[in-house]
A = this chain, B = another copy of it.
């Protein structure tokens, strides 16, 4: 009944559903408070207080046909200008409304960018481990994902990047702060990637885009800077979402940046806008556009996740587990004490701890813990982690 092309999607889908159902089964059996579910990356820091009032103000202040009616497929001009000026203020860029395409969240922005540039058979290099949903996004346009293994510390390796780029490469996709590892690429890494791409563009005499997926940009701890990638490489798309920065994942609002320094910037922007239309989104939802502009300086309380990060990291280290302190996002990547991380996940489940096998991110031998949960859950999980550690003789 369904397209042959979609059959692999459904095979994968049932694995995700099984894990979700397993969580529900455990909660029903042991009680919600006795299950430590670190499997789902669902933002749970409180929505900033001003958001709901802003929605009501927008409804009161905006002429009704303007609020709910069609606008340019790229979004409201004033919203886009507000966002552009805010990025300029924070990052010293020189954007205007013509560089900001409002989208139905980051996933949509990423799809729009890929459809705009990708012809069948062209390659997209992605640093592994990575969020496997990227595979689907690239396949949507018959592109080919080329995974590029990072170093032990999960940072890109420039020699391997150079090897991964061929005459078929159309884009390199980065994600920083990073899901699932929590690393943030420092300036020298971004400079290194830019250098390789500049060289490869010359070598193959063709445009290679850098796509920077930044839904976790605002979740950077200890004051660490997240470099603004367009300043290092002209042909960069930035993909942004308010799902994490404002805890609004259900509202589906984000944007795609087509910077002025990109080759043929205006034409690429116009194409991406048309792609946004024909792909079905047409435009980003209108109330949400007005909302993010009105709340341009709002952020969720970073402390909410930071406290979880520290408690979970310190707790696991004390138990004897091996992990790297995450610098951003809300994931802790933990080395499995046995080669087969599936075995480790199964052992954890005995103590009602749910985590995701790193194989789901092209990182066998690791597990991902999403610490976007209540602080209580983390504290309550510690005895369970201790018992789990004892199984491995820690």
A residues near B (Cβ < 8 Å) are: 1-6, 9-10, 13, 42-44, 46-47, 51-52, 55-56, 59-60, 64-65, 67-71, 103-105, 107-112, 115-120, 133, 136-137, 140-141, 207, 246-253, 262-264, 267-268, 270-271, 274-275, 277-288
Q: In the complex, which residue of chain B has the Cβ closest to the Cβ of A58?
A: B55
Evaluate contact between B4 and A252: CB separation under 8 angstroms: no
In angstroms, Cα B140 to Cα A44, docked, is 35
In the complex, A46 Cα to B69 Cα: how many Å?
10
Given the known interface contacts A56-B56, A104-B104, A250-B70, the answer about A6 and B268 at a Cβ–Cβ threshold of 8 Å is no
Q: How far is the CB of A117 from chain B (nearest CB, A)?
A: 6
- Give the top 10 A-B pairs by smallest Cβ distance, nearest first: A250-B286, A108-B280, A111-B280, A136-B278, A285-B285, A1-B264, A107-B280, A68-B248, A2-B271, A70-B249
Q: Report yes or no: B68 in contact with A59, Cβ–Cβ below 8 A.
A: no
Contact A9 B271 (CB under 8 A): yes
User: How far is it, in angstroms, between the C-alpha of A140 and the C-alpha of B9 when the chains are bound?
Assistant: 18
Q: Cα distance A178–B147 when bound, in Å?
A: 47
Q: A117: which B residues are within 8 A, CB to CB?
A: 1-3
Q: With A68-B251, A111-B279 in contact, do A116 and B270 touch (Cβ < 8 Å)?
A: no
| List of B residues within 8 angstroms of A44 by Cβ | 65, 69
